[in-house]
Amino acid sequence: MHFGKGTRDQDRVKEDDLLHLIERHREDLEGLFLLGDVFDQFIEYHHLVPKGYFRFLASLFDLTESGVPVIYVVGNHDPWHLDYFEEELGVLIVRETHEISIGGCRVALSHGDSVGRSRVARIIHGATRHPLSMALYRTLLPADFAYRFTRFVKNRLESSDSPEPAVIDRLRSAAQKMLSDGRDLIVLAHSHHAELIEWPQGLYANTGSWHHDRSVVSLQAVSQQPGEKGQIVAIGSPSGEHGLVRQGRWNGNDVVWYSEARFGSQRTPETQPEGNTEVRQTFGLA
């Protein structure tokens, strides 16, 4: 979402759309996964949190209070969380890759900024997120100055937020390696380029960018019992025979689903795609 990146009015519209999406599918929602860069920058202090986006935060609290789990996998723009989201909102904060089971299938979810990086990049990544580095930054710099300084550095280092071919390719390669560990589906973000790719060893989905495209990914477990056309069952339910991943875009009233693929036991050798890659559908910035 990159809340805080646009103007106040742009963020208001972006937040409105997200709230309408959640409300529109509230009865069907069994879990919500936020794959990082929810905020364009976020520095939480022990007694202070950045202001704004109360309605969005209240919606997360409403979900968790009603028993719907919300998993927040932090990104490269918003890793400096402490305990506010977990203690006040009931949202689980995840620092790296999060794994779940859907229809008996292994699914890995991550932001994607750290996957497939070089050794030097991984060292820098670890150093900037180390608890000691974060503690020093919070302690030595006044909060308002630290926040403005972070924004200044980020804007200087980022030439554009449009999809970069090198990042898109890196995430694709990383997803293939992650599938080689026996996973059935990899879901990443970070590249701002929504796509659904089917390989013989499994599937890769990228959530794209809500900030620009209002793109979203849906994960479902599907039970195919004799005489049934298909029934949506609970995430991780033992009765689920396979999973279904769908790629879509919010149009202001609902999600328009433009691509989908099955993963898991229904992907037999006879139905799997031949060759190295087959791009089922991609959707990114023009």
Which pLDDT score, from 0 to 100, does residue 129 have? 73
Taking the CA of residue 251 as centre, how many other CA atoms within 13 Å lie in the half-sphere pointing to its CB? Answer: 7
DSSP reduced 3-state for 260: strand
Residue 193 near residue 284, CB atoms below 8 Å: yes
Give yes or no for residue 265 having a pLDDT over 50: yes
- Give the domain ranges of the chain: 8-283
Which pLDDT score, from 0 to 100, does residue 150 have? 77
DSSP string, 8-68: HHHHHHHHHHHHHHHHHTTTT-S-EEE-S-SBS--B--SS------HHHHHHHHHHHHTT-
Which position has the higher pLDDT, 230 or 159?
Answer: 159
Which pLDDT score, from 0 to 100, does residue 152 have? 73
Binned at pLDDT 50, 70 and 90, residue 247 comes out as: very high
Q: Lowest mean pLDDT: which of 69-73, 150-154, 262-266, 268-272?
A: 268-272
Which pLDDT score, from 0 to 100, does residue 206 have? 97
Closest CA to 110 of 119, 120, 100, 118: 100
Which pLDDT score, from 0 to 100, does residue 167 have? 93
- Mean pLDDT across the chain: 83
Pair of tokens at residue 86: 């977990």
Region 235-252: mean pLDDT is 74
Pair of tokens at residue 89: 């909102």
Q: Are strands 278-283 and 194-199 parallel, antiparallel or unpaired?
A: antiparallel
Q: Could you report the per-residue pLDDT of 62-115, keeping only the tens digit for each?
A: 999 999 999 999 998 899 899 999 999 999 999 989 999 988 899 999 999 888
Taking only Cα atoms into account, the Rg of the chain, rounded to an integer number of angstroms, comes to: 19
Could you please state the CATH topology (level 3) that the domain comprising 8-283 is classified under.
Purple Acid Phosphatase; chain A, domain 2 (3.60.21)
Give yes or no for residue 145 having a pLDDT over 60: yes
Pair of tokens at residue 265: 């036991």
N- to C-terminal Cα separation, the chain: 18
Which pLDDT score, from 0 to 100, does residue 237 have? 37
Which pLDDT score, from 0 to 100, does residue 233 have? 36
Binned at pLDDT 50, 70 and 90, residue 222 comes out as: confident
Which pLDDT score, from 0 to 100, does residue 144 have? 79
Q: Could you report the per-residue pLDDT of 15-69, keeping only the tens digit for each?
A: 999 999 999 999 989 999 999 999 998 888 888 899 899 999 999 999 999 999 9
Give yes or no for residue 121 having a pLDDT over 70: no
Which pLDDT score, from 0 to 100, does residue 211 have? 94
Which pLDDT score, from 0 to 100, does residue 163 have? 82
Which pLDDT score, from 0 to 100, does residue 196 have? 97
| Cβ-based neighbours of 196, under 8 Å, separated by 6 or more | 203, 204, 205, 206, 245, 247, 259, 260, 261, 279, 280, 281, 282
